Structure 1
Amino acid sequence: MKKPQKYSVEGIVASVFFIVLIGVVLVQVFGRTPLFRGPVWSEEAARWLWVWMAFIGIAEVERQDSQLKMAFLADLLPVGARRVLYTIIDLVYLGIMGHLAWIGYKTVLRTSGNVTVTLPTTDALLYASGFVAALLIIHRIIRRLMGRRDVSVSREPSL
């Protein structure tokens, strides 16, 4: 299997969310000191940034095919059987993610009228994170299914 590209949209977006999250948390910290009064929106914004960062980060892990695996039983199988097993797992995973994307879409529609407490938007923007991440993961699973996965040796985690 060819090595994934070093940078991707998912990784860059998750990193930007993380950097902005650090800034918002610093505003919260300094806002609790006598230096200045922190804005009321910072707590909700930090929570939203965290959720978006985590979901997009999951999509980046999927892009790199770096999720946790217990492959000791699969490693006992011949290469052809291992390829079939991983294809079946990917197809099941694709079905689950499709269902989660559908749930995410319905949730976005259902919450589009809910006004947030402190941010000038609706709750749908928060719930859109799960929908967007599910679509990104579906995209990566389909690309993996269309390509040929190298299953000759299980990948060892790099430290």
Structure 2
Amino acid sequence: MKPPRTYSIEGIIASILFIVLIGVVLLQIFGRTPILRGPVWTEEAARWIWVWMAFIGIAEVERQDGQLKMAFLAEMLPEKFRLVLYTLIDLVFLGLVGHLIWIGYKTVLRTANNISVTLPTTDAVLYASALVGFVLILHRIIRRLLGRRDVSVTREPTL
């Protein structure tokens, strides 16, 4: 399996959100001093940006296959069994993420009419972060499963 590219859309978006988050938090900090009167929306915006950044960041970790795992037992297995084990784990994860996408979709619909306290939008924008993040994760799991299949089919025999 070839290593993941250095940059991805998930990583770029998460990085941009992090920079925006720093700006909003700095505005919030300086808004508590006599120098500047801070806008009231910064606290809520910081939370929303943080949530979006976290879900997009989780998708980036999934792209890199960098999640925490305790693989010492799996590493003792022969390569063929390890491939089957990791494929089964990914299939279970795929089902779980599919269910979370469904929950996220229903939540976005349910909150579409809830007006945010300080931001000029509905709460559905906040809850859409989970939906978008899980769709990106689903995409990465499917790509990993397809890549694993390609590796097992095209692997050259060892002598």
TM-score after normalising by structure 1: 0.93
Count of aligned positions: 151
- Cα shift readout 1:16-71 (whole Å, capped 9, x = no counterpart): 00000000000000000000110000000000000000000000000000000100
Tell me, yes or no, if structure 1 residue 38 matches structure 2 residue 38.
Answer: yes
Gaps of 5+ in 1: 152-159
Distance 2:144 2:46 in 1: 33
Q: What letter matches 1:50 in structure 2?
A: W
Pairing of 1:80-91 with structure 2 (within 5 A): 80-91=80-91
Q: Helix, strand or coil for the counterpart of 2:148?
A: coil
Q: Helix, strand or coil for the counterpart of 1:35?
A: coil
Q: What letter matches 2:146 in structure 1?
A: M
Residue equivalent to 2:111: 111
Residue equivalent to 1:79: 79
Residue equivalent to 1:8: 8
Pairing of 1:9-158 with structure 2 (within 5 A): 9-148=9-148
Q: Alignment identity in percent?
A: 74
Residue equivalent to 1:157: none
Distance 2:39 2:136 in 1: 33
- Cα shift readout 1:86-122 (whole Å, capped 9, x = no counterpart): 0000000000000000000000000000000000000
TM-score after normalising by structure 2: 0.93
| C-alpha deviation, 1:148, in angstroms | 2.0
Across the aligned residues of Structure 1 and Structure 2, the Cα RMSD in angstroms comes to: 1.2
Distance 1:115 1:11 in 2: 30
Distance 2:50 2:143 in 1: 27
Q: What letter matches 1:72 in structure 2?
A: F
